[in-house]
Structure 1
């Protein structure tokens, strides 16, 4: 089974003309997206905080993060971006995918657009009695 890749543009929200484009590995086991540090710094993005991430081998690592615009497949989403080491393969995490309604077809490792973006029910409706019109 092959890995899915997609072309992604990262933009600096404060200066949208400053951007970086790369071929990203789609990783549904990664929550956030990862971009090489030198690419983020080149478009004027600086670390805003640090977050602890769990790696595939179970170890933990504290990494710098920022926020930026993530564009792919004709969609745009603001998201958390991890500062990776220079030369690291960029990763598109599941949060960006789900935010714009794109899923990975596990059978052929391709990206597919969902008919609608998933949204949990906002308000629980209580059944109403037909006789009294009051909550049952």
Structure 2
């Protein structure tokens, strides 16, 4: 299976004219979205907390996180953004995808819009 990328605009919710735009790797294994620290700081997004994240290699480490408007595929969502190292590839996480009603089509390596946004669990609780 290959990689899926999407163009994303990260916007400072307190000052919507301050933005950063880039191609993000879509990562359904990541809950939150990840953005290089230098770009978040450049648009005035400050950390609001810190939490421990588990990385793809199984290790865990603490990262700062903040809040941003995340825009992609003509959708706007608000979400948590993780302050990553400056040379890190930006990741679009599952929370942003689900909030926008977008899912990954792994066969075609594309994103597709759901006919309706889910308000219930897919499996019974």
**Shorter-chain TM band:** over 0.9
Q: Tell me, which stretches of 5 or more residues in structure 1 are unaligned?
A: 122-136
The equivalent of 1:50 in structure 2 is 50
Aligned to 2:63: 63
Q: Deviations over 1:47-90 (max 9, x none)?
A: 11001101112111100000010000000000000001012100
3-state DSSP of counterpart to 1:38: helix
TM-score for the superposition, normalised by structure 1: 0.87
Deviates more, 1:17-26 or 1:55-64: 55-64
Residue correspondences, number: 121
1:103 and 2:103 are equivalent in the alignment:
yes
TM-score by length of 2: 0.94
Misfit runs of 4+, over 2 Å: none
Aligned to 1:130: none
> Greater relative contact order: 1 or 2 (C-alpha under 8 angstroms, separation 6 or more)?
2
Supply the RMSD in Å over aligned alpha carbons: 0.9
Cα distance in structure 2, aligned partners of 1:109 and 1:61: 30
1:22 corresponds in structure 2 to: 22
